[in-house]
């Protein structure tokens, strides 16, 4: 029996227009015995706002695992060291190719002159502060990750050219346009394990859905792992199941209706 379901959002539960299936809130309400966890690189406040109809019913793994929350309570925060944040901002000061976003517990911070990164950030961050001095922003908040927006959908190309991170930090390819740099301890899989243990749910009683490489550890932590039909080929190879339909065809709801 499945007692916990973890869902990635972009490319998984959400369609290409960033909308969730209309029947999803009703399904959650109809299954109070199943804990539903949203596992996303998105900001916690964005998740709570987007799913406000069922906000208190959901568990949240936000910022790719740096924050875990439920029913208005922050369960865990994995913040970066200030010196690590400053070194990354020195490495990515912002240019026509790569633009950094400082993702804090209280807000996300992006430069006024951040170009497309500024525009894209509004899709993922409900709380944003525009400030050209990102270093001062980082100093006043708990920084969860640095998100690097890469122009022209070339995140994988830039990612492959990056130098090895210092001990304790990891760079993660989280989309066609995004690279996330955070503590090595931050990952969706370890966050899901924390939620499982908090609830007393076994791995075999857990299902997880994802579409991209940053979902690899999430799926590894679930006995029933589902890669979307539109997922990255490497994720499909690692998952126990592949959904019949894509995220634009309500692939998640197709599986949930079978449970």
Whether residues 235 and 205 fall in one domain: yes
Please state the domain count of the chain: 2
Whether residues 234 and 195 fall in one domain: yes
Whether residues 212 and 128 fall in one domain: no
Full domain range(s) for residue 139:
82-183
What is the distance between the alpha carbons of residues 174 and 156, in angstroms, rounded to a whole number?
A: 9
Last residue of a domain, one of 183, 211, 236: 183
Whether residues 99 and 50 fall in one domain: no
List the Cα angle 196/59/3 in 5-degree steps: 45
Domain harbouring 35, CATH code: 3.40.50.1000
Whether residues 195 and 178 fall in one domain: no
CB 208 within 8 A of CB 222: yes
Last residue of a domain, one of 135, 165, 183: 183
Whether residues 71 and 195 fall in one domain: yes
Q: What is the largest CA-CA distance in the chain?
A: 51
Taking only Cα atoms into account, the Rg of the chain, rounded to an integer number of angstroms, comes to 17
Which H/E stretch holds residue 144?
strand 143-150
Tell me the pTM.
Answer: 0.88
Whether residues 150 and 205 fall in one domain: no
Q: What is the pLDDT along the chain (259 residues), one digit of tens a residue?
A: 999 999 999 999 999 999 999 999 999 999 999 999 999 989 999 999 999 999 999 999 999 999 999 999 999 999 999 999 999 999 999 999 999 999 999 999 999 987 888 888 888 899 999 999 999 999 999 999 999 999 999 999 999 999 999 999 999 888 889 999 999 999 999 999 999 999 999 999 999 999 998 899 999 999 999 999 999 999 999 999 999 999 999 999 999 999 8
Whether residues 166 and 90 fall in one domain: yes
Query: Residue 31 is encoded by which pair of tokens?
Result: 């299954």
CB 228 within 8 A of CB 214: no
Whether residues 145 and 193 fall in one domain: no
Whether residues 126 and 177 fall in one domain: yes
Domain harbouring 133, CATH code: 3.30.1240.10
Whether residues 60 and 153 fall in one domain: no
Whether residues 109 and 174 fall in one domain: yes
Last residue of a domain, one of 183, 198, 227: 183
For 210, phi and psi rounded to 5 degrees?
A: -160, 175
């Amino acid at each position: 029996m499945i007692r916990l379901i973890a869902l990635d959002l972009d490319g998984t539960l959400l369609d290409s227009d960033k909308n969730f299936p209309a029947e999803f809130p009703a399904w959650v309400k109809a299954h109070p015995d199943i804990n539903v966890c949203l596992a996303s690189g998105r900001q916690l406040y964005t998740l709570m706002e987007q799913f406000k109809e069922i906000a208190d019913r959901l568990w949240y793994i936000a910022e790719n695992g740096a924050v875990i929350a439920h029913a208005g309570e922050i369960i865990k925060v994995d913040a970066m060291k200030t010196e690590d944040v400053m070194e990354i901002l020195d490495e990515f000061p912002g240019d026509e190719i790569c633009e950094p976003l400082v993702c804090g517990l209280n807000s996300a911070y992006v430069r006024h002159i951040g170009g497309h990164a500024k525009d894209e950030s509004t899709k993922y961050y409900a709380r944003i502060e525009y400030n050209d001095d990102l270093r001062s922003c980082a100093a006043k908040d708990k920084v969860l990750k640095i998100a690097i927006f890469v122009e022209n959908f070339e995140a994988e190309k830039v990612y492959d050219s990056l130098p090895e991170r210092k001990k304790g930090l990891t760079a993660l390819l989280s989309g066609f346009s995004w690279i996330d740099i955070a503590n090595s301890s931050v990952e969706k899989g370890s966050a899901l394990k924390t939620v499982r243990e908090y609830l007393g749910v076994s791995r075999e009683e857990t299902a997880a859905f994802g579409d991209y490489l940053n979902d690899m550890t999430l799926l590894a932590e679930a006995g029933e792992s589902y890669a979307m039909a539109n997922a990255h080929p490497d994720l499909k190879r690692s998952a126990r199941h592949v959904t019949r339909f894509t995220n634009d065809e309500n692939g998640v709801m197709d599986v949930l209706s079978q449970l």
